[in-house]
């Protein structure tokens, strides 16, 4: 019931965002997009999923888990598209990866480790890319007045998070204390907000322990993490390039720095949202960022919708049809709700 209400609220936000635009201008702009202009975002989307699968394969190899690339590509595709149906801060896709890896002989502990390490590296590099985008805007003096102040504050905050994450990686005792505090805070928050869906405390403690093991794994195999991290960076470049290409498709190109900021903020809202695929929240947050940076609302909304189509909707449809057996089993087994 909570999930249904959240989805309805997200759709309401999305519809409201479209109504805020000039409908005639939006339709005219959409009609002027040549079909060939949509090829570029779709190509970047396919390459992004391919790079993501390579990062998983590299981390798995460092954990002495050797599976063929084609299998990792299917697992990556299905687990990520499941997140677009059921939201829980990425944990739904995490659980699906556990299921699929288990069916190919990978133990649960090893599967958890691989997923946690990849998730940490992915989110860490995302924060780095967002900070780089804000830094670029500040240094290029593309903003003035209040916008410049807001960008500077955001830059400091993102930089602080990155520094704190690096400190935690190198200090085990501080890391364990911080993770214990975070687990307790998350458990209290979930008990208040969604008491029926809140996981048991024991599951969260186990998750915290596995996360600490993931940090230790990173430290013990620092050199072997360089190649997977490079694939993850390429994945983010390609994913943000989808949005960059979408703005080109609507004939309103924007700078890569602006794309990184709007893209990163929208993705962060999607990750922490209980709304399936962050519907409405991602579009609203991205549009708000781009409009605040001087992009007209109509091309911003249209470009964001093209991004949603290329990176979320079309891959979801392909996942259902190409891997329908795996997709249906993952949904039926209820793994999308486990922690």
The answer, yes or no, to whether residue 194 has pLDDT greater than 80, is no
28-70 per-position pLDDT tens digit: 888 888 889 889 999 999 999 999 999 989 888 888 888 899 8
- Sequential DSSP letters for 250-286: TT----HHHHHHHHHHHHHHHHH-SSGGGTTHHHHHH
pLDDT in the model for residue 339:
36
- Sequential DSSP letters for 133-162: HHHHHHHHT---HHHHHHHHHHHHHHHHHH
pLDDT in the model for residue 29:
87
Q: How confident is the model at residue 2 (pLDDT cuts 50, 70, 90)?
A: low
The answer, yes or no, to whether residue 219 has pLDDT greater than 70, is no
Among 75-84, 111-120, 173-182, 206-215, the range scoring the smallest mean pLDDT is 206-215
In the chain, the percentage of residues whose pLDDT exceeds 90 is 14
Q: Determine contact, residues 97/79, Cβ cutoff 8 Å.
A: yes
pLDDT in the model for residue 248:
93
pLDDT in the model for residue 177:
75
Mean pLDDT within 79-90:
62
The answer, yes or no, to whether residue 143 has pLDDT greater than 70, is no
Neighbours of 12 (CB within 10 A): 12
* N-term to C-term CA, the chain: 19
Q: Which residue has better confidence, 331 or 30?
A: 30
Sign of torsion over alpha carbons 318, 279, 299, 311: negative
pLDDT in the model for residue 86:
56
Most confident by average pLDDT, 13-27, 159-173, 286-300:
286-300
The CA–CA distances, whole Å, from 283 to 214, 262, 306 equal 32, 10, 11
Sequence-ordered list of residues with C-beta below 8 angstroms from that of 76, at least 6 positions apart, any chain: 49, 52, 53, 56
Please report how the helices 281-292 and 2-20 are oriented relative to each other, as an axis angle in degrees rounded to 10.
30
Provide the mean pLDDT of the chain.
Answer: 76
The answer, yes or no, to whether residue 127 has pLDDT greater than 60, is yes
88-101 per-position pLDDT tens digit: 444 556 667 777 77
Sequence-ordered list of residues with C-beta below 8 angstroms from that of 9, at least 6 positions apart, any chain: 275, 280
Q: How confident is the model at residue 329 (pLDDT cuts 50, 70, 90)?
A: low
Q: Which residue has better confidence, 268 or 254?
A: 254
Q: Determine contact, residues 134/155, Cβ cutoff 8 Å.
A: yes
In the chain, the percentage of residues whose pLDDT exceeds 70 is 67
Mean pLDDT within 76-81:
80
Q: Determine contact, residues 330/100, Cβ cutoff 8 Å.
A: yes
Sequence-ordered list of residues with C-beta below 8 angstroms from that of 12, at least 6 positions apart, any chain: 280
Kindly report the backbone phi and psi dihedral angles of residue 63, in degrees, each rounded to the nearest multiple of 5, phi listed first. -95, 15
**In the structure encoding, which two tokens stand for residue 140, read together?**
């290029």
Q: Which residue has better confidence, 286 or 89?
A: 286
Please, what is the Cα angle at 9 between 91 and 330, to 5 degrees?
30
The answer, yes or no, to whether residue 229 has pLDDT greater than 50, is yes
């Amino acid at each position: 019931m909570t999930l249904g209400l959240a989805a309805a609220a997200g759709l309401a936000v999305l519809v409201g965002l479209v109504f805020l635009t000039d409908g005639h201008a939006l339709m005219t702009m959409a009609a002027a997009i040549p079909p060939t202009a949509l090829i570029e975002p779709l190509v970047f989307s396919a390459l992004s999923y391919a790079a993501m699968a390579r990062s998983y394969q590299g981390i798995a190899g460092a954990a002495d888990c050797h599976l063929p690339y084609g299998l990792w590509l299917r697992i990556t595709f299905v687990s990520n598209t499941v997140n677009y149906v059921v939201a829980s801060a990425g944990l739904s896709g995490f659980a699906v990866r556990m299921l699929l890896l288990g069916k190919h002989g990978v133990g649960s502990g090893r599967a958890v480790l691989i997923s946690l390490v990849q998730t940490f590296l992915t989110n860490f590099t995302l924060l780095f890319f967002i900070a780089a985008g804000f830094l670029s805007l500040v240094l290029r003096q593309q903003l003035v007045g209040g916008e410049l102040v807001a960008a500077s504050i955001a830059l400091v905050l993102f930089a602080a998070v990155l520094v704190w994450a690096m400190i935690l990686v190198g200090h085990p005792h501080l890391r364990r204390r911080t993770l214990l505090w975070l687990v307790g805070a998350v458990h209290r928050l979930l008990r208040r907000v969604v008491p029926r869906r809140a996981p048991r405390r024991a599951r969260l403690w186990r998750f915290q322990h596995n996360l600490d093991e993931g940090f230790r794994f990173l430290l013990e195999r620092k050199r072997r993490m360089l190649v997977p991290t490079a694939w993850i960076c390429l994945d983010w470049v390609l994913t943000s390039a989808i949005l960059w290409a979408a703005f080109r498709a609507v004939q309103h190109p924007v700078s890569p720095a602006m794309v990184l900021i709007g893209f990163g903020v929208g993705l962060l809202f999607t990750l922490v949202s209980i709304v399936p695929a962050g519907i409405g929240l991602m579009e609203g947050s991205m549009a708000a960022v781009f409009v605040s940076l001087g992009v007209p609302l109509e091309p911003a909304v249209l470009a964001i919708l093209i991004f949603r189509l290329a990176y979320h909707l079309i891959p979801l449809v392909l996942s259902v049809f190409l891997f329908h057996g795996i997709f249906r089993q993952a949904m039926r087994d209820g793994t999308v709700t486990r922690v």
